[in-house]
Structures are given as C-alpha cells and as structure tokens.
Structure 1
Amino acid sequence: MTRRESDVDAVETANTAFYEAMEQGDFEGMSGMWLDDEVSCVHPGWPVLSGRGEVLRSYALIMANTEYIQFFLTDTRTAVIGDTAVVTCTENILSGGPAEDGGALGPLVGQLVVATNVFRRTPGGWRLWSHHGSPVLTDTEEDEEDDAS
C-alpha cells in the first residue's frame, strides 16, 4: 500500500468515525474529531459557525434534540494533498424524534444532504477543520406534473 492509499484510508476512517459519533450521540467522540484551533461548520439551513466552541455547541444542541439519526453515505470521494484532505459525500439521513404523546420514537424522516468535510493531518491523526452540509432540493413527481400543465 502506498502512502497516498494509506492516507486516503486513514481519512475515510476519520470521516466514518465523525458520522458514527453523531449516530451514537457521542459528544466526547465528536469533540475529539475537531481541530483545537480555528474550525468552521455549516449545517443545512444554518449560518456559518466559526470557532471550536461555537461548532461543538451546535453538535451538542443537535444531539440533545435528536432521538434517532442514521447516516447512509453515498457518492463518497476523498482527496489528499499533503496534510489536507477533502471528503465529499451525500448524506442519506434517517432521523426521528420522540412521539408527541411521549414514549416511543416519533415518525422517521428522510433527508438528503451533500457534504464537504475538510480534514487536516495532526500528530494525533486526521482532524476535522471544516464541515459544510447543504440540503438537496429535488422536485417531486407532483411538482413535475404541475410544471407540465
């Protein structure tokens, strides 16, 4: 295995760990994924968040208010140049919150988000520098029928 292949594997492992921390509601694991210095994050529909504290607060808020979330990553591409890596992917997200009457999990909702995750190599491994997620807005069949009329 070449150094480049090894780097790509390590970045893809770090990227997977990022999504697994979200799925498990593992705030400590999530915190360990990010660089200690200047970072940024854009969640779908949110403004740009800058700085480690602001970014990690956003993940704490999301984790505290999400009963269930699962990511199925598709279209993943990884590029490594020197000590920087970029991963692009489609996040096929399945999530749900508590039922309105309490108790069991509420209805599950699917969503597509395209994401770019930028990593930087550190002595402790690859760490997130930036995450940007953007919703995929697609026409429904009903919208297409309306357009045809």
Structure 2
Amino acid sequence: MSAPHTDVEEVEAANTAFYEALERGDFDALSSLWLTPSDLGVDEEWHDPADTGVISCVHPGWPVLTGRGEVLRSYALIMANTDYIQFFLTDVHVSVTGDTALVTCTENILSGGPPPQGEDELGPLVGQLVVATNVFRRTGAGWKLWSHHASPVLAENSGDEDDETPT
C-alpha cells in the first residue's frame, strides 16, 4: 500500500474519531484529537497555549474561536447542552499534501434537546444540514485537528415563483 493512500485512510479514521467522540459526549477523547502547542513545537512553559493560536473552530452561527481553551470550552458547552447528537457524513473528500490534510464533508446532523419538563424521553429530534472543512496536521501521535469550520446549508429553492430567496 502506498504512503499517500495510507495517509488518506489515517486522516479518514481521525475525522471519523472526531465525530464519534462528539456523538458519545467523550470530552477527553475529543480533546486528544486536537493539536496541542507541543505538537507544533511550542514550549508550553514559556508560551500561554491560549495565545499561540494553535487551533481554531467555527461552529454554525458562532464567531471564530482561537486557541485550545476557547475551542475545547465550546465543545464542553455543546456536550453539556445536547442530550443526543448523531452525524451522518456524506460527500467526504480527503486531500493530503505533506503533513497537512483537508477534509470536506456534509454533516447530516440529527440532534435532540433536553426532555420536556417531567418527561423521560428526549425533546423533539431536529435535523440539520451543515457543510464542514476539517484541517489536520500530522504529528508524532498521528493526525490531529488543526481547524474545524462548519456552516449551515440554506434550504434549496424549489423553483416556485412565490418562494422567498435569501439575500
């Protein structure tokens, strides 16, 4: 098996692990998948990891988050406020150049909120379509996330003249 093909498979596995950790609500596993300052040769004793700008993330509708502290805090908030989430990835494309990999995909997301007051089951399940770009860097410990950027997909226009088109 050639090295480039192996790289693509390893990046696909890292990308899958990211979404699976999020689905399980496994904060420790999710944290381990993101680059650390030491992965990039930054001396954490002399540099504040939050100031190094090592990683970044854009969740749909959120501002850009930069640094491990901000990014991981955002995932802790999402996990704490989401009772159920499942990702069905489609249109997955992986491109590897040297020690950097780019993954684009469509996240077909099914999620549920907290149960209505006094009930045991999840609140209504909601589906959302999001396109995402995940950038990975090769490290001694394998491929790790450098950046995640996700954006909602607007509903397609059915072609009816009465439909409103966003501007």
Q: Specify if TM > 0.5.
A: yes
Deviation per residue, 1:78-109 (Å, 9 max, x gap): 00000000000000000001222242111000
AA aligned opposite 1:136: V
Query: In the aligned structure 2, how far is the partner of 1:4 from the partner of 1:74?
Result: 22
Task: Give the distance between the partners of 2:66 and 2:160, measured in 1 at CA.
Answer: 39
Secondary structure in structure 1 of the residue aligned to 2:156? coil
C-alpha separation in 2, matches of 1:45 and 1:98: 21
Could you tell me which of 120, 129, 135 is aligned with 1:103? Answer: 120
What count of residue pairs does the alignment treat as equivalent? 147
Higher-strand-fraction structure:
1
Percent identical among aligned pairs is 70
**Following TM superposition, by how much is the alpha carbon of 1:139 offset from its aligned partner in structure 2, in angstroms?**
3.4
Q: For structure 2, which runs of at least 5 residues remain unmatched after alignment?
A: 38-53
Between Structure 1 and Structure 2, which shows a larger proportion of helix residues? 1
- Once the two structures are superposed, the pairs formed by residues 88-127 of structure 1 within 5 Å of their partners are 88-101=104-117, 102-127=119-144
CA shift at 1:138, angstroms? 1.3
Deviations 1:38-87 (A, max 9, x none): 10000000000000010000000000000000000000000000000000
Over the aligned positions, Cα root-mean-square deviation in angstroms equals 1.5
Alignment of 1:53-68 (within 5 A): 53-68=69-84
1:29 aligns with 2:29: yes
4+ aligned runs moved over 2 Å, structure 1: none
Cα distance in 2 for partners of 1:98, 1:15 equals: 27
User: What is the letter of the counterpart of residue 123 of structure 1?
Assistant: G
Deviation at 1:140, TM superposition (A): 5.8
If you compute each CA radius of gyration, which structure gives the higher value, 1 or 2? 2
Deviations 1:2-33 (A, max 9, x none): 00000000000000000000000000000000
Distance 1:144 1:29, change over 3 A: farther
Q: How do residues 1-149 of structure 1 correspond to structure 2 at under 5 angstroms?
A: 1-37=1-37, 38-101=54-117, 102-139=119-156, 141=158, 144=160, 146-147=162-163
TM-score, normalised via structure 1 length: 0.94
- Secondary structure of the residue that 1:61 maps to in structure 2? helix
